[in-house]
Amino acid sequence: MAKADTVLIVGAGPAGLEAARTVAELGKRAMLIETKDQLGGTPYAYYATLTPDLQETEHSMQEILDAVEHHSAVDVRLNTRVVHSEGSLGAFHVTLDRDGAQTVEEVGAIVVATGFQHFDPGRETQMYGYYEYDDVITLVDAEKMFKDGNIVRPSTGLPPERVAFIQCVGSRDRQIGNKYCSKVCCGIASKQSIEIKRMLPNAKVFIFYIDMRMYGFWEDQIYWKAQEEYKVNYIRGIVTEIIRKGDKLLIKGEDTTMGRPMEVLMDLVILSVGMEPSKGTVEMSRIFQIPREEHGFLQVIGGPLNTVSTPVPGIFVAGAAAGPKDIEDSVSMGASAAAKAVGALKRLELEVR
């Protein structure tokens, strides 16, 4: 079992990066493969700033990226994907594909960290018209503008005076089939509302919600901050329809604490799209025969006491591939999966002796 000291990590987002670093620090070899041409995962590719202190993403993630890129025990393979797998714990034979060139690698254990994808608002069951109205955008589109240092109405290129966030788009919805909460979008909408108020102090910003879910420290670090320091308006009630009215958008909802239907004009509407398992996550379920739990994410066997072991011996999961998560939880899971993977290899060594 010459190569059984390598752990394959699939996906180089926060979870995969931390898994690779931990495997290397525990004295095993990590092979980190990533389909994209850069490390860092979804946050690095799409988001301008990160919670809780709104630091630039590139800056926040620099330390972990350096640690992985410069560690001699981490073998980084970009533009690479898994296409086939055979074998079991201690000796998986995994076929990797890089631009059509295939190699078979022998690895002892595997951590799947293939993450999530953003919900496509074309599938929502209300009538928000994301593909119809220029000024209806998503959290992700807003981050793209923040990266350029501004926020404007796409229709005019001018700054908006009234901005509305609509929460839970694609989440908590039996009609769509996503019955779970995506966990981060309440915090991210609040974070973005702070950024908009910093750029446009005179803008009015509204967040339409069902429940505001900012557990733990996000409560005062983001929620209270937006409400108290930046005067963001939180309105309990979800919008059902957006209609064009002149060059503005009329949004229809109910102000449920006031108990009346409500119609108000906005310049820009931001849809708080949630998380779904990424295509890569679904693909890994098929290739490695990892069952998916009832919401479609990869299944773990230990409930709250073992968050990373899948039903397949030697295969572990970390981060948003196992369900909606923020970076903090994804990274914790990455380290935990790495420790369990290395532990499994160590047990094999003892048995061999």
Partner 1 sequence: MPSDLYTEVSFEEKQRLFDQVAADPRYKNYLYGCYECGICVAACPSARFYDFSPRKITQTLAREDVDLFYEQLNDDVWNCSQCFSCNRCPRQNSPGGLITIMREVAVKNGLRTTKEALAGYTRIIYKITTTGTQVSPDMLQEDAFPDWGPQVKEVSDNLDLWRRALPPETLHTTGLSWQVEERTMNELYAIWKMTGTLDMIAELDEGLHDIMEEIMDDAIEESGLLPG
Ligand X SMILES: Cc1cc2nc3c(=O)[nH]c(=O)nc-3n(C[C@H](O)[C@H](O)[C@H](O)COP(=O)(O)OP(=O)(O)OC[C@H]3O[C@@H](n4cnc5c(N)ncnc54)[C@H](O)[C@@H]3O)c2cc1C
Contacting ligand X within 167-206 (CB under 6 A): 184, 188
Q: List the one residue from 326, 332, 338, 348 that touches ligand X (CB under 6 A).
A: 326
Q: Does 160 bind ligand X (CB under 6 A)?
A: no
Residue 180 beta carbon to ligand SF4: minimum distance, rounded to whole angstroms: 8
213 binds, among partner 1, ligand SF4, ligand X, none (CB under 5 to 8 A by kind): ligand SF4
238 binds, among ligand SF4, partner 1, ligand X, none (CB under 5 to 8 A by kind): partner 1
CB-wise, 156 or 306, nearer to ligand X?
306
Q: Does 238 bind partner 1 (CB under 8 A)?
A: yes
Alpha carbon of 137 to those of 43, 115, 249, 253, 272: distances in Å? 18, 23, 12, 18, 9
Q: List the one residue from 35, 221, 299, 310 that touches ligand X (CB under 6 A).
A: 35
Total number of residues that touch ligand X (CB under 6 A): 40
CB-wise, 91 or 262, nearer to partner 1?
262
Q: For the chain, what is the HEC assignment?
A: CCCCCEEEEECCCHHHHHHHHHHHHCCCEEEEECCCCCCCHHHHHHCCEECCCCEEHHHHHHHHHHHHHCCCCEEEECCEEEEEEEEECCEEEEEEEECCEEEEEEECEEEECCCEEECCHHHCCCECCCCCCCCEEEHHHHHHHHHCCCCCCCCCCCCCCEEEEEEEECCCECCCCECCCCCCHHHHHHHHHHHHHHHCCCCEEEEEECCCCCCCCHHHHHHHHHHHHCCCEEEECCEEEEEEECCEEEEEEEECCCCEEEEEEECEEEEEECEEECHHHHHHHHHCCCCECCCCCECCCCHHHCCCECCCCCEEECHHHHCCCCHHHHHHHHHHHHHHHHHHHHHHHHHHC
Integer Cα distance of 312 and 298 in angstroms = 11
Tell me the window of 1-9, 40-48, 148-156, 340-348 that interacts with ligand X (CB under 6 A): 40-48
CB-wise, 175 or 202, nearer to partner 1?
175
261 binds, among partner 1, ligand X, ligand SF4, none (CB under 5 to 8 A by kind): partner 1
Tell me the window of 46-54, 69-77, 165-173, 317-325 that interacts with partner 1 (CB under 8 A): 165-173
Strands 109-112 and 6-10 turn out to be parallel
Both tokens of residue 169?
């788009």
CB-wise, 264 or 269, nearer to ligand X?
269
Tell me the window of 30-38, 75-83, 170-178, 274-282 that interacts with partner 1 (CB under 8 A): 170-178
CB-wise, 65 or 176, nearer to partner 1?
176
Residue 335 beta carbon to partner 1: minimum distance, rounded to whole angstroms: 35
Tell me the window of 28-36, 64-72, 262-270, 292-300 that interacts with ligand X (CB under 6 A): 28-36
Both tokens of residue 35?
């389909």
Binding mask 158-197 for ligand SF4 (x = CB under 6 A): ---------xx--xx--------xxxxxx-----------
Contacting ligand SF4 within 246-275 (CB under 6 A): 272, 274
Enumerate binding residues for ligand X (CB under 6 A): 10-16, 33-36, 41-43, 47, 50-51, 81-82, 113-116, 118, 139-140, 184, 188, 275, 278, 280, 283, 319-321, 325-328, 330
